[in-house]
A = this chain, B = another copy of it.
Amino acid sequence: MPETSKTVTAAILVIGNEILSGRTKDANIQYLATELGKLGVRVMECRVIPDIEATVVATVNELRAKFDYVFTTGGIGPTHDDITADCIAKAFGVGISEHPDAVERMTRHYGNPALFTPARRRMARVPHGGILVDNPISVAPGFQMENVFTFAGIPSVAQGMFQSMKHRLVGGDPVLSRTVRTNLPEGIIAEPLGALQKRYEDIDIGSYPAFRNGKPSVSLVLRGTDDARLATAAGELIRTIKEMNGEAEEFAS
């Protein structure tokens, strides 16, 4: 374990009218948040915004100043509503043009020059200073501008891009978690749980009610960077619940 603990933060910016209209359900936030957590990068905010240039530019600039990393998804395809690359260039105050490596990859991929249409060539445009992010699924790359990574919106492509660039990230202490599941309702467990949270200030204790097989069930999730502390706190929680005649089981989480 490192001697000093460092928190590395990130924001996820989903760009797309189709999420805001309810047409499409976002599928990138959960994937990226989970993968980033494994690398010790904590997602502190997610935003979904429309394909409006001024909004994208202002939001990128706000988030890149506020967090260690920013990941954008959506808006880098070949159609008129794909404005993300231009917006990122504006946010950084740089120009944008075809990236020779991107052109080469796409020329090879399409083979027949007639298929490498002007619209598809738009996908080879990268803000000046940008570093390509490989696209193992459909070739047209994403890119990195300083601490901002721009991915496609299609989940398989966004996931492929993330996997191909994740070695570039420098994470902090990974966030570990333990989950205790109980049949006691939140309203009964709340008081001892709050007391436990007060005694373990370095642990983030969350309480998530749900229905499992038709019965109410509460997942109590303990999150922190020191597994020994998590184990102690989880043990204490299980004992407390059993003293209240509740069922308590620890689950991998």
Contact = CB atoms under 8 A, between A and B. Distances in A.
Interface string A167-193: 000000001010000000011111101
Interface bin, chain A = 35 or more
Contacts of A19: 29-30, 33, 46
Contacts of A223: 17, 21
A20 interface: yes
A81 B205 contact: yes
How many subunits of this chain does the assembly comprise? 2
B20 A209 contact: no
Given A18-B206, A18-B208, A29-B48, 20 more contacts: A19-B30, A19-B46, A20-B33, A21-B37, A21-B43, A21-B175, A21-B177, A22-B36, A24-B208, A78-B187, A79-B186, A79-B193, A80-B193, A80-B194, A81-B206, A81-B207, A117-B188, A119-B186, A120-B187, A120-B190
Interface of A: 17-26, 29-37, 42-51, 77-81, 115, 117-120, 122-123, 154, 175, 177, 186-191, 193-194, 197, 204-210, 221, 223, 253
